[in-house]
Amino acid sequence: MNFSDLFFLYLFLPLCLIVYFISPKIKYKNTVLVVFSLIFYAWGDVKALLLIAAYALLNFSLGRLIQKNIGTKKAKLFVTLGLFADLGMLLVFKYTGFLLQNINGIFRTSINVPKFWVPLGLSFFTFRTISYLLDVYWEKIEAEKYFPDFLLFTSLFPCTVAGPIVRYSTIGAELKERTVNVDDMYVGFTRLCVGLAKKVLIADNLITIVSAYWGGGAMNVSSVDTWYAVIVYSMYVYFDFSGYSDMAIGIARILGFHFEENFNYPFMCTSIAEFWQRWHISLGSFFRDYLLYVPIFGKMRRYGGLFLVWFCTGLWHGASWNYIIWGLYFGLFILIETLLGKKRLKKIPKAVKHIYTKLVIIIGFGIFYFTDIKQLGYFFRGILFFSKAGFVGDTFPTYFVNNIFLFLIALVCCFPIVPFIQKKLESHKAAQTAVGVAWGACCIAMLIISSIFLVNATEHPFLYTNF
């Protein structure tokens, strides 16, 4: 089931909210959410329903055993078993085929490479439970004692399929007790509408431009067209994924859960390190907190940890070399900025830093797009102005003019205009109320327009449901 689906928006979600809010106690509300979350998950991948339940039971049991034996070797044994089980499942389902393909390529063997089924949302719920087990082991949280609540934590439908990676420490207390007020409903509804508009009105239209250029590969695309396509694709990934995150955060807020932000206007950054503090924040913070300081590199721990984080960041996105290259590409620029130091970076003019970061980010998304290494080579030829198709294609003026308003709207929406207005009006209560009403009306309009667009639209699933 897709968030940007009329069935979800006008049947599944309203029915869930009605049953949820008429349920008198938190225990019943949680039961409602578990049932609807499992239905939501089964709608997209019914084969994995039993798996996710067994997976939740395993991690729940291990968490209890770690808690019971905290400070002993048994606790270390149980957390190790949990990590092996969670990471093992991720490796088996998602990366076995990729590993066998590379073995065949390197050693010229002919091992049969089966097509593995990958459970929906595997990368996201695996990382949630890994963070849970480690936090219990490090005594940052207490293990959950009630299995239905833990099952809700692992299956909660706003964040199961495509994130964000919500930690138990964030919503653990709200599993037991939460309230929903008018402000929660307003903020949640407006976030839901904004996220839907990002997806339906902007992202789904941007990807049609990209497909027109790169649908048949990058070989016959001119250099100017390549630059245009990769800029459009960069904005598409942002609006598609941040749109999903907005909808997830909004729905959760209506239900009384307060998820942490996953995007913070990443294109406003002046360094690549800052970009990753603003982009897919839940993934970046996961690797920072659980992987960066793994003590396996000795004196080279600082650089070894950096390499490991960015290798895993790339690999997490998919079983393909382009994702690994993409992760290490960003890791290289993080390393360069680290070696330069904050003092030297501050001396560089802001305009130069903006140009540098946008070029690095845009080229990075080109690497992200092409899973075929040969096509990735053609992409690099294009951006370096050595395209076989020449400097500019015949269709570029038409495509650019026909999509100029979409391009400009997407560009403007990359900037924090609404937060800027809200901040300016902090001391003006009357104006704040008026703007709040006007913004609510705008969000209703966005919901209606997005719904109209969805009536006869070709389905475009959210990009990150693939990861």
Q: Is the pLDDT of residue 354 over 80?
A: yes
Rounded-to-integer distance, Cα 307 and Cα 334, Å: 10
The ranges assigned to domains in the chain are 16-178, 183-466
pLDDT digits (tens, 9 = 90+) for 182-237: 999 999 999 999 999 999 999 999 999 999 999 989 999 999 999 999 999 999 99
H-type helices in 156-271, by residue range?
A: 157-160, 168-176, 182-197, 204-214, 223-254
pLDDT-based confidence at residue 44 (cuts at 50, 70, 90): confident
Rounded-to-integer distance, Cα 401 and Cα 89, Å: 48
Q: How much is the pLDDT for 296?
A: 61
Q: Classify 270 as helix, strand or coil.
A: coil
Q: How much is the pLDDT for 300?
A: 65
DSSP one-letter string for 44-100: HHGGGHHHHHHHHHHHHHHHHHHHHTTTSHHHHHHHHHHHHHHHHHHIIIIIHHHHH
Q: Is the pLDDT of residue 436 over 90?
A: no
Percent of the chain with pLDDT over 90: 72
- CB 120, CB 44: distance < 8 Å: yes
Q: Is the pLDDT of residue 59 over 80?
A: yes
Q: Which tops the pLDDT comparison, 392 or 424?
A: 392
pLDDT mean across residues, the chain: 91
pLDDT-based confidence at residue 304 (cuts at 50, 70, 90): confident
pLDDT digits (tens, 9 = 90+) for 133-166: 999 999 999 999 999 999 999 999 999 888 799 9
Which tokens sit at 194?
Answer: 């904004």
pLDDT digits (tens, 9 = 90+) for 275-298: 999 999 999 999 989 887 666 655
- CB 263, CB 247: distance < 8 Å: no
Q: What is the largest CA-CA distance in the chain?
A: 73
Q: Which tops the pLDDT comparison, 52 or 446?
A: 446
Give how far Cα 414 sits from Cα of 267, 379, 411, 423, Å: 7, 25, 5, 17
Average pLDDT over residues 41-63: 90
Which tokens sit at 306?
Answer: 């950096």
Rounded-to-integer distance, Cα 460 and Cα 109, Å: 38
Residue 295 DSSP code: S
Q: How much is the pLDDT for 351?
A: 95
Rounded-to-integer distance, Cα 176 and Cα 242, Å: 28
Q: Is the pLDDT of residue 245 over 90?
A: yes
The helix-helix angle for 373-383 and 321-340 (nearest 10°) equals 50
Which tokens sit at 121?
Answer: 């949302």
* Angle formed at CA 273 by CA 271 and CA 278, multiple of 5 degrees: 95
Q: Classify 413 as helix, strand or coil.
A: coil
Rounded-to-integer distance, Cα 25 and Cα 178, Å: 11
Q: Is the pLDDT of residue 455 over 80?
A: yes
424 Cβ partners below 8 Å, 6+ apart?
Answer: none
The residues assigned a catalytic role are 317
* 424-453: burial string, b at 16+ Cβ within 10 Å, e else: ebeeeeeeeeebeeebeeebeebbeebeeb
Q: How much is the pLDDT for 428?
A: 73
